[in-house]
Amino acid sequence: MEKIKSNDFFVANEAKVYDLGEGVKRQFVGYDNCIMTVKVSFEKGAVGSIHQHPHTQTCFVHSGQFEVTIDGVNKVLQAGDGFYVAPNVLHGCRCLEEGILIDTFSPIREDFYKTI
């Protein structure tokens, strides 16, 4: 992959919003080839379906409340909480209260980057 890099600053009300449908929207906070941070907004009831990927992921719950599943274990998380997902581990979430997740991936999610 070629050398890539996002803008130095992320201004939420100026950044493009990608509507993923079914109550989920995404904005790209910052990225290069090694790391990517993404702001994901969920409407109440929206689902991040169970999936896996080869990237390490951490997530910070900025607002709202989410039921998060990691490797078959469920936990309800709210603003201020977070979680870690090792590469290739099945995980997903269901939004219990409208909110925002801040996801960070290493390396970059090339599949996400292709949508920018």
Q: Is the pLDDT of residue 1 over 80?
A: no
The mean pLDDT value for 98-112 works out to 97
Q: How far apart are CA 49 and CA 24, in angstroms?
A: 11
Q: Could you tell me the pTM of the whole model?
A: 0.95
Q: Is the pLDDT of residue 104 over 80?
A: yes
Which tokens sit at 110?
Answer: 């090339």
Tell which CATH architecture fits domain 24-113.
Sandwich (2.60)
Q: How far apart are CA 102 and CA 59, in angstroms?
A: 5
The mean pLDDT value for 110-116 works out to 92
* pLDDT > 90 fraction of the chain, expressed in percent and rounded: 97
The mean pLDDT value for 71-95 works out to 98
- Radius of gyration, alpha carbons of the chain: 14
The pLDDT tens digits of the residues spanning 2-52 come to 899 999 999 999 999 999 999 999 999 999 999 999 999 999 999 999 999
Q: What is the mean pLDDT of the chain?
A: 97
